[in-house]
Amino acid sequence: MPVITEIEDLKRIYRRRVPKMFYDYTESGSWTEQTFRENVTDFEKLRLRQRIAVDMDGRSTQSEIIGEKVAMPVALAPVGMTGMQQADGEIKAAKAAAEFGVPYTLSTMSICSIEDVAEHTSKPFWFQLYTLKDEDFMDRLIERARAANCSALVITVDLQILGQRHKDLKNGLSAPPKLTPKSIANMMTKVGWGLEMLQTKRRFFGNIVGHAKGVSDPSSLSSWTAEQFDPSLDWGKIARIKEKWGGKVILKGIMEPEDARMAMQVGADAIVVSNHGGRQLDGALSSVAMLPRVLDEVGSEIEVLMDGGIRSGQDVLKALALGAKGVMLGRAYVYGLGAMGQAGVTTALEVIRKELDTSMALCGRKRVQDLDRSVLYVPEDFGGRWKP
Ligand SMILES: Cc1cc2nc3c(=O)[nH]c(=O)nc-3n(C[C@H](O)[C@H](O)[C@H](O)COP(=O)(O)O)c2cc1C
C-alpha cells in the first residue's frame, strides 16, 4: 500500500488508474483555465499566525452546517459522472461521507441514481439540482429527492449554459465512454478500472436515462446540457423551485455580493461562493478572493459556504478564518475516489481533517468555531484592487 500523506498523493494514483477522458474531465477548467488555477493559488496568498503556549488539549473540528451536525465543516460537492471515475462512484463517495460524518451532495448528472444512492446509504444526503427547461422532469427530480429523504436541495445557479473545456470536446467525453481506437487504447492500460466497470450496471446518467424525454444523445454531457438546461433561469424561477421543495435550500455558484443579497431575499438557507471550480466563467476571480466581499455583504445574515481550490486542511482553515461556515470539496475527493474507491474518499477526508486540526492547534485555537480573521495574515490587496 502506498503511503498517503497529502491530497497530491491521491491525485498521482488517480491519474494512473483512470482513463484519460475522465481524468481530463476533472482536471480542467474552462478556456484558458485562469480561474481554475487561481482558485488554488490564491489560497497561498493567505498566511497563518503561529501562536504558542496556548493549551491545545481537547480540540474539536465538529460543527454544524444548515443545522446538521458535521465531523468537520466540509461537505462533498456535487460532481457529475462520479460513477465514471470508479464503478458505483457516487454510492462509494456517499458511504464514505456518511461514515465520516460530513454531508454528501449527489449531482443531477450522476451515474448512480437518487434512488440507488438512497438505497445503499443510511444517512440523508443533499441533492444538487440543475434547472431544466422540461419543468415536468425537474418537478419529478424534486419529488424523487424528497422521496429519497434528501435533507437539502443544492440549486446550482451558475450553469445555465455550459462553459467550454477544450479537452472534453477533444476527448469526446461521454458516459459510457464511446469506443474509438484512441479511447480503447487508453482504457486497455486501465485494467483495474475496466474490470470494475464491467461488473456494474451503472454506466449511464442514472437520473436521466429512462426519465427524461427528447434527449438526442443521452451519453453526451455537452449535448444534454445544451438541449435541456434552462437558459432563462431567473430569481422568480429560483423562488418557485424553493417553494416546490419546501425544505432547506442552498444556492451554489454565487460570486457577487449583490447576488448574495438576492439569494437571501428568496429565502435561501445558505449560499456557496463558487465559480464551479473554474469550469464556467473563465476570467472570474477566485472563490477565495470573492469570499470576503460576499461575507461583508451577507455574512451575518446567512450561512456562507465556499468551494474552489481546496486541496488541504489549511485551505479549509483559511476559508473558515475568513468567515465561511463551511466548505465543499470537489476535486480533492474525486482524486481519492479514482485512486482507491470508498477508502480513497475516506483517506482524502482524513488527510484534510488532520491538516485542519494540526494547523488550528499551531494557530492556538481549539475549536473551528474559534477561527477568525485574527489567525490570518491577509495581504492588504488580497482579492486585488479591482473596480467593478
Ligand atoms: C469533474 C467535476 C464535475 C462537476 N460537476 C458538477 C455538477 O454536476 N454540479 C455542480 O453543481 N457542480 C459540479 N462541479 C463543481 C463542484 O461542485 C465544485 O463547485 C468544484 O469542484 C469546486 O472546486 P474544486 O474542485 O477546486 O474543489 C463539478 C466539478 C468537477 C471538478
- pLDDT tens digits, residue range 162-204? 999 999 999 999 999 989 999 999 999 999 999 999 999 999 9
- Band of pLDDT at residue 343, cut at 50, 70 and 90: very high
Q: Which atom of ligand 1 is closest in space to residue 275's alpha carbon? A: 19
Question: Which of the following is catalytic: 120, 166, 211, 276?
Answer: 276
DSSP labels for 94-135?
HHHHHHHT--BEE-TT-SS-HHHHHHH-SS--EEEEE-BS-H
Q: Which atom of ligand 1 is closest in space to residue 272's alpha carbon? A: 19
Q: If DSSP codes are grouped into helix, strand and coil, which group holds residue 175? A: coil
- Who wins on pLDDT, 252 or 385? 252
- Binding residues for glyoxylate, as ranges, are 25, 165, 276, 279
The best mutation among 224, 276, 328, 337 to test binding of ligand 1, ranked by most ligand atoms within 8 Å of the C-beta, falls on 276
Residue 120 is among the residues annotated as catalytic for this protein: no
Q: Which atom of ligand 1 is closest in space to residue 77's alpha carbon? A: 17
CA–CA gap between residue 339 and residue 23 (Å, rounded): 11
Counting residues of the chain whose pLDDT is more than 70, the rounded percentage is 99
Is a pLDDT exceeding 90 seen at residue 388?
no
The pLDDT score that the predictor gives to residue 387 is 86
Q: What's the mean per-residue pLDDT of the chain?
A: 96
Q: Whose CA is nearest to atom 3 of ligand 1?
A: 79
CA dist 279 → 121, 275, 380 (Å): 29, 7, 28
Calculate how far, in angstroms, residue 328's C-alpha sits from the geometric centre of ligand 1.
9
For the stretch 360-375, pLDDT in tens is 999 999 999 999 999 9
CB atoms within 10 A of CB 47: 12
For the stretch 55-103, pLDDT in tens is 999 999 999 999 999 999 999 999 999 999 999 999 999 999 999 999 9
The pLDDT score that the predictor gives to residue 217 is 72
- Binding residues for FMN, as ranges, are 78-80, 107, 128, 130, 156, 252, 274, 307-311, 330-331
CB 364 within 8 A of CB 376: no
Residues with CB under 6 A from ligand 1: 25-26, 39, 77-80, 107, 109, 128, 156, 252, 274, 276-277, 279, 307-310, 328-332
- Binding residues, as ranges, are 25, 78-80, 107, 128, 130, 156, 165, 252, 274, 276, 279, 307-311, 330-331
The pLDDT score that the predictor gives to residue 113 is 97
The pLDDT score that the predictor gives to residue 144 is 98
Q: Whose CA is nearest to atom 27 of ligand 1?
A: 330
Calculate the dihedral angle through the C-alpha atoms of 244, 273, 314, 72, rounding to the nearest 10 degrees: -20
- Who wins on pLDDT, 142 or 211? 142
Q: Can you state the angle between helices 313-322 and 331-362, rounded to 10 degrees?
A: 70
The pLDDT score that the predictor gives to residue 216 is 66
Q: Whose CA is nearest to atom 12 of ligand 1?
A: 78
Calculate how far, in angstroms, residue 235's C-alpha sits from the geometric centre of ligand 1.
22
Q: If DSSP codes are grouped into helix, strand and coil, which group holds residue 189? A: coil
Write down the pTM of the prediction: 0.97
Q: Which atom of ligand 1 is closest in space to residue 332's alpha carbon? A: 27
The pLDDT score that the predictor gives to residue 18 is 98
Calculate how far, in angstroms, residue 333's C-alpha sits from the geometric centre of ligand 1.
11
**Domain layout of the chain by residue ranges:** 7-377
Q: Which helix (H) or strand (E) holds 377?
A: strand 376-377
For the stretch 283-317, pLDDT in tens is 999 999 999 999 999 999 999 999 999 999 999 99
Calculate how far, in angstroms, residue 350's C-alpha sits from the geometric centre of ligand 1.
20
Calculate how far, in angstroms, residue 329's C-alpha sits from the geometric centre of ligand 1.
8
CA dist 67 → 46, 248, 270, 273, 325 (Å): 29, 10, 11, 19, 11
Q: What homologous superfamily does CATH list for 7-377?
A: Aldolase class I (3.20.20.70)
Average pLDDT over residues 11-18: 98
Is a pLDDT exceeding 80 seen at residue 126?
yes
The best mutation among 279, 328, 333 to test binding of ligand 1, ranked by most ligand atoms within 8 Å of the C-beta, falls on 279
For the stretch 213-250, pLDDT in tens is 777 677 777 777 778 889 999 999 999 999 999 999 99
Calculate how far, in angstroms, residue 276's C-alpha sits from the geometric centre of ligand 1.
5
Q: Which atom of ligand 1 is closest in space to residue 109's alpha carbon? A: 8
The pLDDT score that the predictor gives to residue 212 is 80
